[in-house]
């Protein structure tokens, strides 16, 4: 009888230990998955997270008829900044900019490091509200630096790639027109919407 009780106790102890190991492995897997979606330098979501989240949010927006704006931000003259002050200073600027901009966003909006000195934004709003957010991000940019940005409002039928391509074209236009400004991709209600951070041109 005593031997049977002892065997049962050992068996239960083994079960507890196995369950503990399973939980530990699952926790580690969850941590690794979380790390895989974060940028190692800035600590904000990375390009992989951006791609997955944009697809998911477009699906939700399609289902509920919601409005969504994508933005691409590029720090102006970042290569020159790196060459002048060194890569550690450039890394610090990227880190500080990402965190400063993240703090200016509303709950539900997303900023991710898109690649290099470029960041991506997903905002659940209309273009006029996105323009206000751009001004807030401009004011929060650290170290006296500036950025150029391109915005595109989802038309309701385009893919994530098409939407991002329009935002990228708007970013190129902002750079072409002198940087330190944002430009908005052509839209039925807001054709050639653009604002210059320096001159204070308001969206039209």
The single residue of 33, 53, 55, 117 carrying the catalytic annotation is 117
Centre a 10 Å sphere on the Cβ of residue 91 and count the other Cβ atoms it contains.
Answer: 13
Detail the DSSP E strand segments found in 8-155.
Answer: 69-75, 110-115, 118-123, 147-153
User: Residue 54: enclosing H or E segment and its boundaries?
Assistant: helix 47-64
**Whole-Å CA distances, 25 to 6, 31, 36, 107:** 29, 10, 16, 32
- State the DSSP code for 190: S
Q: Read off the tokens for 41.
A: 């330098």
Residue 117 a catalytic site member? yes
Catalytic residues: 117
């Amino acid at each position: 009888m005593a031997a049977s009780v002892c065997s049962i106790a050992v068996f239960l102890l083994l079960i507890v230990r196995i369950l503990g190991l399973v939980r530990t492995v699952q926790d580690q897997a969850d941590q690794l998955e979380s790390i895989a979606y974060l940028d190692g330098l800035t600590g904000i979501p990375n390009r992989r997270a951006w791609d997955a989240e944009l697809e998911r949010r477009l699906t939700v927006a399609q289902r509920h008829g919601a409005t969504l704006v994508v933005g691409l931000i590029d720090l102006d003259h970042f290569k020159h900044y790196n060459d002048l002050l060194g890569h550690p200073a450039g890394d610090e600027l990227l880190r500080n900019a990402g965190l400063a901009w993240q703090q200016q966003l509303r709950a539900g909006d997303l900023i991710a490091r898109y690649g290099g000195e470029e960041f991506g934004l997903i905002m659940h709003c209309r273009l006029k509200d996105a323009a206000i957010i751009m001004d807030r991000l401009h004011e929060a940019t650290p170290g006296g630096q500036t950025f150029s940005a391109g915005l595109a409002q989802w038309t309701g039928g385009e893919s994530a790639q098409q939407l991002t391509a329009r935002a990228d074209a708007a970013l190129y236009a902002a750079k072409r027109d002198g940087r330190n400004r944002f430009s908005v991709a052509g839209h039925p209600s807001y054709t050639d919407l653009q604002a210059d951070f320096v001159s204070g041109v308001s969206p039209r």
